[in-house]
Structure 1
């Protein structure tokens, strides 16, 4: 990612979390295959980064996620996304994974998500534009 306003806050094998000082949001880039452990590690990292750098907006880039939440979609939607809201996140722009199974998993997760306000997009540019308008 070539953006001088980005600062890497942390990374695991499945996720990288960046703070975008210019846009005032966290940029979260998921990649690879997910098992329960790698997904949990990614979420724990994201929450630590939110504690370190509070933001009301989050750009969730799942384009390179190869698999979904392995049957944990309801848990992710009902427990994890509301936790983001508790930590001050008001808007999340999700970029769909290219892999169809992972895309279905994200849609299923968002169906269980009561808060924060989440919108899903097919491309990064549209997600960024939507988030900038919040």
Structure 2
């Protein structure tokens, strides 16, 4: 894995073997940190273009409901504009964080996003996408 960005709240790496971004959100997030983190992910995607992303929320410990519409609508649309095609979104175990994620999903129209409860299943699904 090639680390593209790392902070206490967010880490973004590129997996050259699977040609995908691995995005790990950590700790407490607010609407502001969800937006700034999303902008950072978009910057990393511009730096390392690819078509697949594993979005790991297992370590998120708070809700970010006020940003759910932006995340599900604008952020995911911007990912698609940067040629992102498949996102494996690993759900938070924290109930309020998971509720925010489920709200965001109501606004996603593209790319293809599938929810998972564990990283291993998400990684397996992501590895199968784009193969003919």
User: TM-score if structure 2 supplies the norm length?
Assistant: 0.93
CA offset at residue 59 of structure 1? 0.3
Any stretches of 5+ residues in structure 2 without a counterpart? none
**Aligned-partner SS, 1:72:** helix
C-alpha distance in 2 between matches for 1:16 and 1:95: 15
Q: Is the 8 A contact 2:25 2:57 kept in 1?
A: yes
Q: How many residues align?
A: 129
CA offset at residue 68 of structure 1? 2.4
Could you tell me which residue of structure 1 aligns to residue 22 of structure 2? 27
The equivalent position to 2:9 in structure 1, one of 9, 14, 38, is 14
RMSD: 1.0
**Aligned-partner SS, 1:18:** strand
C-alpha distance in 2 between matches for 1:12 and 1:42: 10
User: TM-score if structure 1 supplies the norm length?
Assistant: 0.92
The equivalent position to 1:83 in structure 2, one of 63, 78, 87, is 78
The equivalent position to 1:130 in structure 2, one of 125, 128, 132, is 125
Q: Is the 8 A contact 1:25 1:57 kept in 2?
A: yes
CA offset at residue 45 of structure 1? 1.0
**Aligned-partner SS, 1:60:** strand
In structure 2, the CA distance between the partners of 1:107 and 1:70, relative to structure 1 (3 Å rule), is closer
Q: Is the 8 A contact 2:31 2:66 kept in 1?
A: no
C-alpha distance in 2 between matches for 1:71 and 1:42: 14
**Aligned-partner SS, 1:47:** helix
Q: Is the 8 A contact 1:13 1:38 kept in 2?
A: no
Could you tell me which residue of structure 2 aligns to residue 99 of structure 1? 94
